[in-house]
Amino acid sequence: MRLLSARPQQPPGNAAGPDALDAFVAGGTNSSYTFTVVSSTQAGAIDQILPGPTLNDNGVVAFSSGNGLFALSQTGTLVALGSGVAFGETVWIDNAGQVIVVAEVSGIRELRRYRGSQPGTFDVLAKVGVDEFTPSPSGIFTSDIDLTGLLDFPSVSDDGSVFYVGTGAGVTGRFVIELNALQDDDGALLGDADDVLRPVALNGGRVVLLSGQFAGLSGPAIAIVEGGTVQPISNGVVASPGQFAGLLPMIGATADGSMVTFFGKEKTPSGTGALTLFASVATATGRKVHALSPVAGFLGQRDLEIVFRHPDRLPTTLRTMPFPAPLHVLGGLLRLGHLSLSDRLALLRIGPDLLFRDPDSDPYLRSVTVRQWLDARGQSDANRTKLWDIIAIGALNDATDRITAALFLKVLRSAFLGSRMNSSLVLPLRGLSSVLVDGAAEFLQRHGGTVLLNTAAEQVRMENGAVKSVRLTGGLDVQPRTVISAVPYFDIPKVFGSGEAVGLTHLERLVSSPIVTIHLWFDAHFVQERIAALTGSPIHWVFNKSRIYPERKSTLMYLALVVSGAHAMAEMEKEEIVQLATGELKRFYPAAPLARVIHSLVIKEKRATFSPMVGSEKVRPPHTTAVRNLFLAGDWTDTKLPATIEGAVQSGYAAAEAVKAQLP
C-alpha cells in the first residue's frame, strides 16, 4: 500500500477563475497530474495506511496506520507522533502542524491534538463520559449535555477552530461540536442517529457539512454554518436539495470557504444523474456550481451492509460499526441476531489466525480447506452455513470443502484489518464491459494506442526465445516489442501451441468453477433491499437490479440471482433452474407468491474462474515466462488473491512492472 501525493502540472496560459478551474481540475486535454510516493508499507516501518490522510499548505502530510500516527515533512522525514492506542482513519493537520485525531484507549474514545514539533505529546480535547457541551441555538436545551459518543470525523482549520461529531446523553441524533477554549463547547444537533455529517472546519469558527436538518430546506444539503446556528448563514448554502438527487458527506474546502468540493448526483429530467465531483465557488452574485469529474458507473457503500434472509425468521443485517479496524467488522458480526450468543462468541476463535498467521506463506493454511480450518477453529454448523460459507463461496467461487483456507484468510484479513472501504461492497451501475473496458480503451486511444475489437490472435510465431510476430484474424501480422497475454489458462495451448512452449507446466491442475446467474422479471415488487444473502439455500445472492439501476424506470421488478461454485446447477436445464429459483424466492419472501415471472434469462459461465483448491498456488504462474518478451496477466496468475476483479487488476499492474523492468 502506498500513500501518493498528486501535483498538477502548470495549466497552459494564465487561466484563472471558475471556468479555468473547471477545465483544469476536471481533466481532459488541459489537465495532467504527476504522482509521488511519499510513504509505503513496503518499507516495513508501517503495516498499513488508513484512507484518511491530510496535507497542510506547507506540504506536511499526516496519516494514521490504525496503531500509529505519523507526519511526513517536505524533506521526506517520517515522524511517529503517537503509538500504543487505536487511532481513527480521519486525520487533520493545520498549517501550524497541529494534528487532530480520534483515539481509543481501553474502550474509551477521546479527541487528541498532537504537535509535529513535539512527537509523543498530546492534549486531550474531548473525552467520552468526561466532557460536556452546551447545545445551541439557545432555547432548545437548558443545561449542558454529557458526551456519550465520539465519531471518527474531527477537523481543524488553519486558525485553530476544531469541530467534531458526537452524541449526547438523552438526545437522539448527532451533534457537530465546536471547541472553544474560553467557554463551554457549543454543539448543534445537525444529524439523525445514522448521519455521518463529516464536518470540514473553516477559519473564523465556521464549518461546512452535509445535514438534513437545516431550517427552511426540504432535504439534505451542504451548507456553511456559523456560531452553532442551524440556519445556514447568508450565501452559505453550497448544494441544495432542489438541485441534487443525492449528496455524499465527502467534502473539501478552502480555508475561507470560497470554494467547496463535494460528491453528488445532480437531478436530470430523466431521473438522477451519475455520481460526480462538484465544486461550489463563491462569486459576487452568489455561488456557482461546476461539475468537475463524473465517477464512472459504480454504487459504493460507505460502510458494509448486507441483509441476510432466512426461511424461518425475520431478516438480519450485517453492518460495520463506527470503530477502528478490526472492531468495525467484528462489532457488526457480534450483533448478528440470526446466530446464538454462544455462536457469536465462537467467532472470536478465528482471531489469532487472523492476526498472527500470514496466508501467503503459512504452510498449515495452504494445506487445509476452508471447511477443515473452520472446524479446527471451533465454528459451529450454524456459523458455517449462515455466515462463513456465504462469504467464502461468494469470494472464492467454490465449496468450502474444496477451496484453500489460505486465500479465505487473505480475504478476511483485508476486510477485518484493512480500511473500512475494504469491507464495503461496490456494485456496477452498468454492465462491467461498459464500466471497466470502455474507459480503459478510451485512455489507450487518447495516449496513442490502438484497440482492435472483434480480433483474435490466430498464431504466435517465436524465434530465439522471443515472440517474433502475432498473426491476427483478417491476416494482419504485428511485430511487437513486448506481448502481455491476458488469455485464460485453458486457452494458452490454443494460442501458443502448448503451455510448455512458454514454460508453463501443470496447467491441467488448474480447475474451473462455474457461476450461474438467473435473471428474472416480475410483474410486482416484493424485494426491498438492493442485495441479500440467502442462508441455507442453493441460491446464494439476490441482487435487486430495479433498486441498483434506479434510472431504469419500469413497472417490472428485475432480480439477478447468483450461484457461485455452481457445478451441479450448470448441468441443469433452464426451465428447471428457473423453477428452483422462483421456489426459493417464495421460501424467503412472503409476498413472492403474489408475483408472476414475466421473463427469465439464465446465463451459465461454466469456466467463470479457476477454483482455488488446496495446492493451486503451486501451479499459478508468475507474470514472466520462459519467452523473454512475453508476460502474463489474468486473475489466475500468481497474484496472491482469489479470482476476482481485484486479482485481475493486480495482475495487470504486476505485468506492467515486469515489462518496465525489462525495457532499456
First-to-last CA distance in the chain?
A: 27
Q: Is the pTM of this model over 0.85?
A: no
Nearest C-alpha neighbor of 577 from the set 539, 530, 527, 524: 539
> What is the maximal distance between C-alpha atoms in the chain?
87
Spatial CB neighbours of 360, under 8 Å, sequence gap ≥ 6: 406, 410, 640
Q: How far apart are CA 204 and CA 531, in angstroms?
A: 44
pLDDT at residue 20, as a whole number: 36
pLDDT at 489: 93
pLDDT digits (tens, 9 = 90+) for 535-556: 999 999 999 998 887 666 678 9
Residue 225: C-alpha distances to residues 215, 221, 222, 286, 368 (Å) = 12, 12, 10, 16, 57
Task: Say which residue the cell 456553511 belongs to.
Answer: 224
pLDDT at 48: 80
Hey, what domains does the chain have and what are their CATH numbers? 321-423 (1.10.405), 452-510+613-662 (3.50.50.60)
| Confidence at residue 302, expressed as pLDDT on a 0 to 100 scale | 65
* Low-confidence residues of the chain: pLDDT under 70: 1-45, 137-142, 180-184, 228-235, 268-274, 293-302, 419-421, 550-553
* CB contact at 8 A, 40 and 27: no
For the chain, what percent of residues have pLDDT higher than 70? 87
pLDDT at 373: 97
- Coil, strand or helix at 439: helix
| Number of Cβ within a 10 Å radius of residue 555 | 9
Q: 3-state secondary structure string, 241-307?
A: CCCEEEEEEEEEECCCCCEEEEEEEEEECCEEEEEEEEEEEEECCEEEEEEEEECCCEEECCCCEEE
272 within 8 A of 265, measured Cβ to Cβ: yes
Containing 495, the helix (H) or strand (E) segment is helix 492-496
3-state secondary structure of 369: strand
Q: Parallel, antiparallel, or unpaired: how do β-strands 186-191 and 132-135 relate?
A: parallel
396 φψ region: left (φ > 0), alpha (ψ -120 to 50), beta (else): alpha
Among 200, 189, 193, 257, smallest CA distance to 229 is for 189
C-alpha separations of 648 from 515, 565, 623, 641 in Å: 17, 19, 12, 9
Nearest C-alpha neighbor of 532 from the set 560, 565, 551, 569: 560
Cβ 564 vs Cβ 614: under 8 Å: no
Pair 558, 521: CB distance under 8 Å: yes
Cell numbers given for 41: 508499507
The answer to whether 143 touches 149, Cβ cutoff 8 Å, is no
Chain centroid to Cα 109, Å, comes to: 25
Is the Cβ–Cβ distance between 550 and 528 less than 8 Å? Answer: no
- Spatial CB neighbours of 623, under 8 Å, sequence gap ≥ 6: 631, 632, 633, 637, 638, 651, 654, 655, 658
* CA dihedral over 443, 448, 452, 456, signed as positive or negative: negative
